Structure 1
Amino acid sequence: MTRLLHLQLLPLLSGVQNFSLFLLDGLPENQFDIYVASVPGGDLVDAVKARGYHYLPLKHMKRPIAIDDTLALMELYSLMKRYNFDIVHTNSSKPGFLGRLAASFSHIPLILYTAHGTSFHDDQPLWQQKIYRQLEKWANSWGDYVVFVNNCDRLKYLEMGLVPPSKAITIYNAIPYEQVEKFTKIAQKRTCNPYKREFVIGSTLRFSRQKNVINLITAACQACKNEPKLKFIILGEGEHWNICRTIVHSYGLEERIILPGWDVNIAQWLALFDAFILYSRWEAQPFSVIEAMHSGLPVIVSDIPSLREMITEECGWIVPLDNQPALIQCLIEVAQHPEIAFEKGVIANKRIKEISDYDTMVKSYLELYQKVM
Structure 2
Amino acid sequence: MHGRPSILHIVGDSRFGGGTLVIAQLGRAAAALGWQPYVLTTDAEAKAYYHERGISVLAEDVVRRSIHPLRDAAGLFRLVRILREHRFDAVHTHTSKGGMVGRLAACLARTPIIVHTVHGFAFHEQSGWFARTAYSALERLASHWCDAIVCVSQFHARLALQLGIGNSAKVFAIPNGVEALPKFSNDSAARTRLALRVPPETTLLFSMGRLAPQKGFPWLIDAVAILRKTCARPVELAIAGEGPLSDELREYARARGIREHVHFLGFRRDIAELLAASDIVVLPSLWEGLSIALLEAMRAGRPIVSTTIESNLEVAGHGEVALLVPPKDAEALAGAVVRLLEDSGLRTRLADEAQRVLAEHYSEDRVVAAYRDLYAQLSRKRSGLSCAPGRVHAVPKGGYQ
Normalised to the residue count of structure 1, the TM-score between the two structures is 0.90
Pairs within 5 Å for 1:191-206: 197-206=201-210
1:294-339 residue CA offsets vs partner (Å, 9 max, x unmatched): 1111221111110111136722111012233322322222222233
The answer (yes or no) to whether the contact 1:186–1:295 under 8 Å persists in 2 is: no
Name 2:241's counterpart in structure 1: 236
Name 1:193's counterpart in structure 2: none
Distance 2:171 2:222 in 1: 39
SS at match of 2:64: coil
Distance 1:181 1:54 in 2: 25
Aligned mate of 1:59, from 58, 61, 72: 61
Distance 2:63 2:165 in 1: 25
The answer (yes or no) to whether the contact 2:30–2:36 under 8 Å persists in 1 is: no
Provide closer, same or farther for how the CA distance between residues 275 and 93 of structure 1 changes in structure 2, counting only shifts above 3 A.
Answer: same
Deviation for aligned residue 1:114: 0.7
Paired amino acid for 1:95: G
Tell me if 1:285 matches 2:287: no
Tell me if 1:3 matches 2:6: yes
Provide closer, same or farther for how the CA distance between residues 354 and 84 of structure 1 changes in structure 2, counting only shifts above 3 A.
Answer: same
Name 1:349's counterpart in structure 2: 355
Paired amino acid for 1:318: L
Distance 1:100 1:314 in 2: 38
Deviation for aligned residue 1:162: 1.6
The answer (yes or no) to whether the contact 2:5–2:89 under 8 Å persists in 1 is: yes
Provide structure 1 residue ranges, at least 5 long, that are not aligned to the other structure: 191-195
Distance 2:241 2:61 in 1: 26
Provide closer, same or farther for how the CA distance between residues 52 and 334 of structure 1 changes in structure 2, counting only shifts above 3 A.
Answer: closer
Name 2:124's counterpart in structure 1: 121
SS at match of 2:157: helix
Pairs within 5 Å for 1:76-115: 76-115=79-118
SS at match of 2:213: coil
Distance 2:205 2:76 in 1: 43
Deviation for aligned residue 1:117: 0.7
How many residues are paired up?
362
Name 2:192's counterpart in structure 1: none
Deviation for aligned residue 1:70: 0.9
The answer (yes or no) to whether the contact 1:120–1:133 under 8 Å persists in 2 is: yes
Distance 1:354 1:215 in 2: 32
Tell me if 1:210 matches 2:214: yes
Distance 1:114 1:282 in 2: 17
1:158-185 residue CA offsets vs partner (Å, 9 max, x unmatched): 1111221110111121223xxx132x45
Tell me if 1:327 matches 2:330: no
Name 1:267's counterpart in structure 2: 272
SS at match of 1:165: coil
The answer (yes or no) to whether the contact 2:226–2:331 under 8 Å persists in 1 is: no
Q: Percent identity?
A: 25
Deviates more, 1:328-337 or 1:71-80: 328-337
Name 1:138's counterpart in structure 2: 141
Name 1:366's counterpart in structure 2: 372
Name 1:258's counterpart in structure 2: 263
The answer (yes or no) to whether the contact 2:10–2:91 under 8 Å persists in 1 is: yes
Deviates more, 1:301-310 or 1:259-268: 259-268
The answer (yes or no) to whether the contact 2:5–2:35 under 8 Å persists in 1 is: yes
Tell me if 1:181 matches 2:186: no
The answer (yes or no) to whether the contact 2:62–2:79 under 8 Å persists in 1 is: no
Distance 2:77 2:250 in 1: 41
Distance 1:33 1:23 in 2: 11
Distance 1:130 1:199 in 2: 44
Aligned mate of 1:33, from 30, 33, 36: 36
1:254-310 residue CA offsets vs partner (Å, 9 max, x unmatched): 454322222211122111112211111110112211111111112211111101111
Deviates more, 1:27-36 or 1:260-269: 27-36
Paired amino acid for 1:329: G
Aligned-pair Cα RMSD in Å: 2.2
The answer (yes or no) to whether the contact 1:226–1:332 under 8 Å persists in 2 is: no
Pairs within 5 Å for 1:287-302: 287-302=292-307
Aligned mate of 2:230, from 223, 226, 229: 226
Distance 1:125 1:29 in 2: 42
1:155-211 residue CA offsets vs partner (Å, 9 max, x unmatched): 0111111221110111121223xxx132x4569x99xxxxx8433221121111000
Provide closer, same or farther for how the CA distance between residues 264 and 65 of structure 1 changes in structure 2, counting only shifts above 3 A.
Answer: same
